[in-house]
Structure formats: C-alpha cells, structure tokens
Chain A
Amino acid sequence: MTTLLWGILPYVILVLLIGGLIWRYRYDKFGWTTRSSQLYESKLLRWASPAFHYGILFVLAGHVMGLLIPESWTDKLGVNEHAYHLMSLIGGTAAGVLTVAGIVLLIYRRRTTGPVFLATTRNDKLMYLVLLAAIVLGMVAKLTHASGEGYNYRHTISPWLRSIFTLQPKTELMVGVPVLYQIHVVVGLALIALVPFSRLVHMFSAPLQYLFRPYIVYRSRDTERLTARPERRGWERIGQ
C-alpha cells in the first residue's frame, strides 16, 4: 500500500498531467478556455472570483515554499521552526479562508443562478467536488495539527515530494504522516490529474506574455487556407 500510494501513484499522476496537457494542446485547442460565465451574472462573480483566484495563488505560493524549498535553506536565512510555523499558520490560514470563501461563493452562485447552472457540465461538477475537497481537507489538516509547534511536514512530506522528482521516492517518509495530511495529499494528487481534463487547464495559459508584447499584433494570411480545403472522403467505393 505504501509503495502504491507514495511510490507509484505520484508517477501515474505526473504522466496524466503531462500527457494530458500535450494531448489537450494538440487535439483540443478550441476547448482550452476559461469558459467564463461572467456574461450571465457578474455581481457575485465580481467578489467571488478574485477572492478565490488570488487566494489560491497565495496557497500555491505557500505550497511551493513549504514543499519545494528544503528546511535547511530557510534555516540558513535565519528563519527558525517556530517563526516558520507561525508564518505558515497565519499566512496559510488567511489565504485558505479567502480561497474557501471565494469558492463557496462561486459554487453558491453556480447553483443558484439559472443560466450558470445550466452551463455547468458533469466534468465541472466533478472538478468542483475535488477542488473543494482538496482545499477544505488542507485547511482541516493544518488546523487540527496547529497546536504548539504544529505538525512539521517539512521533515516528511516535503522531502518525500522532492524525492519523487529525483526518481528515488522515499516512500518510508510518508508512513508516519497524520492521516488527515495523507488524505489531503491523495486528493491533491487527484486534483492535479484532473487539470488537463477539466476547465482548470486554463491555469496553464496565464497570459504573462501580455506584459512584454507590442500592443498591436499583426499576422499574415495563412496561404494554406486560401484554397478550399480538400474535402475529406466520407465513404469508400466498394466493388466496381
């Protein structure tokens, strides 16, 4: 079980993520969009969407800091465990509350605004479920283990995650981790796997290049497309 969850699953997820992104980019560029529903309703969205998005960006930054940056580095910077814990508890909780408030409002809006609910696919519903679960479980795990110095995942989960990328998964590190954290990790992995196959994919098209390109874009006519496209053969002749 340990190997399966902490040694094999992460790689399956990675393959799904990367393979899924490539697949989506090649075969479904047209479907790669935010599918915004602002046209239907904007009063709630006006608050909920920025709250959620900014919240989740902070959460993401927090995860990068906590998981990818080794403790030894922050130690060198003179941040001791207690300070780090406080920072992550307060910052994390603030970002988490913002995110949860945002997503709860967004889901409420989605459910109660007729046109928005009509435009919600099954895929969306699954995505919302996993997303909400991942966020809430993360908050729950963090807050149940908040007393004292809290749970120091930087000795277990973080090195385990980094070991995934070095292709030598140290699955044994995950054994003693509190169950709540374990569940959060698994749901989080599921969420990552969902990204390429749901509307979440729009996170990969964050348009940062906008800051650097000239305002007006020119393109040349696509000469390939000038002629009528050869008609695809819809049938096969049989016999003579």
Chain B
Amino acid sequence: MIWEVFRQEEPGDYHRHVGNVHAPDREMAKQFAQIQHARRMQTNSLWVVPQSEIGEVDAEDAAFGGTTDKSYRWAMTYNDIDASFAEEVADSEAEQREAARKRREAMEEADD
C-alpha cells in the first residue's frame, strides 16, 4: 500500500507534500516516513495518508479560475488606487500580483 507523506517543518507551518512510502499499515507508514523524509530535514510533524484516499482534479479536467476575463476580482485592476498606505493591503496586492504572474506564465507555456 502507498502512503503519501506530508511534512511540517516548524510548529505553525503548513504540512507540505514531500513524497510517499510503501507500507503495510498506518503505523509502519509513520515509521518509514520518519526514516525517509524526516531523518535530515527539519521536522516538527508528519502526516501519512493512504494514496487511494486522495482525490485529484488537474488542469486537463478543469479550467482553474475560469476562462473568461475576471480581472475585476484582482487588487491590481484598481491601479488608480495606491495600496501603500496600509501594509496589509500592499502585501495582499503583492501576493495577488505574484499569483497572477505564475498563472499567466503557466497559461503561456500551455499555449506554446
């Protein structure tokens, strides 16, 4: 049986997918995950999840974020407004700009 492994580096962090292990049951999966994924890497906690329990939808099945122009829901669209007066608004806009950039790049790649 295959178990997907998620590792959290420090308390408060997100558990991030780091790989998987072969194991006959949950206890053994936890052991193997420790050995394979937490021996050298800084680790606070590990999750193991049966691979068969994971549902997936990918870019071939779905148009994530839609295919029509939805610029109205991005902070950058309102560029006659200066976000710098409040750190949290500026941060949010920077995160959105970064997300939009990645998304655009991926779409351009898919077009080539």
Do chains A and B interact in one complex? no
